[in-house]
Amino acid sequence: MAMQRTDVVVLGAGIVGVSAALHLQAKGRAVTLVDRAGAAATETSLGNAGIVQSEAIFPYTFPRAPGEIAAAALGLDPRVHIRYAALPWIAPWIWRYFLASSPAKRLATAMAMRGLVERCVSEHRALAEPAAVGALLREGGWIKTWRTAHGEDLAMSDVEEEKPFALPTVKLSREEVLVLEPHLGEVVRGGVHYPDPLSTSDPQALTQTYAKLFVARGGRFVVGDALSLAQSGDGWALTTAEGPLQASAAVAALGPWTSDLAKGFGYRFPLAAKRGYHMHYGAKDGASLNRPVLDLERGYLLTPMTRGLRLTTGVEFARRDDPPSSAHLDRLEPFGRELMPQLGARLDPAAWLGRRPCLPDMKPVIGPAPRHKGLWFDFGHQHLGLTLGPVSGRLLAEMMTGETPFVDPKPFRADRF
Ligand SMILES: Cc1cc2nc3c(=O)[nH]c(=O)nc-3n(C[C@H](O)[C@H](O)[C@H](O)COP(=O)(O)OP(=O)(O)OC[C@H]3O[C@@H](n4cnc5c(N)ncnc54)[C@H](O)[C@@H]3O)c2cc1C
Which of 358, 378, 374, 376 has the alpha carbon at shortest distance from 366? Answer: 378
What is the C-alpha to C-alpha distance for residues 331 and 309, in angstroms, rounded to an integer?
Answer: 17
Kindly report, residue by residue over 402-412, the tens digit of the pLDDT: 999 999 999 99
Do residues 270 and 359 touch, judged by C-beta distance below 8 A? yes
Rg (CA), the chain: 21
- Prediction pTM value: 0.98
Q: Give the per-residue pLDDT at 341.
A: 98
Measure 157 CA to ligand 1 centroid, in angstroms.
30
DSSP secondary-structure letter at 163?
Answer: G
Half-sphere CA count of 117, side-chain side, radius 13 A = 23
- 272 beta partners: 358
Q: Give the per-residue pLDDT at 114.
A: 97
Give me the phi and psi of 353, to 5 degrees please: -110, 130
The ligand 1 atom nearest the CA atom of 313: 1
Dihedral sign for Cα atoms in the order 11, 15, 16, 20: positive
Q: Give the per-residue pLDDT at 1.
A: 75
**Alpha-carbon torsion, ordered 217, 384, 225, 326, to 10 deg:** -130
Q: Give the per-residue pLDDT at 183.
A: 98
Measure 14 CA to ligand 1 centroid, in angstroms.
6
Measure 18 CA to ligand 1 centroid, in angstroms.
11
Cβ atoms within 10 A of the Cβ of 248, count? 17
Measure 289 CA to ligand 1 centroid, in angstroms.
25
Residues in contact with 342: Cβ distance below 8 Å, sequence separation at least 6, in sequence order: 183, 283, 284, 285, 287
Size of the chain in residues: 417
Which residues of the chain are under the pLDDT cut of 50?
none
Ligand 1, CB within 6 Å, residue ranges? 11-17, 34-37, 42-45, 48-51, 53, 225-227, 253-257, 276, 278, 312, 354, 356-357, 379, 381-387
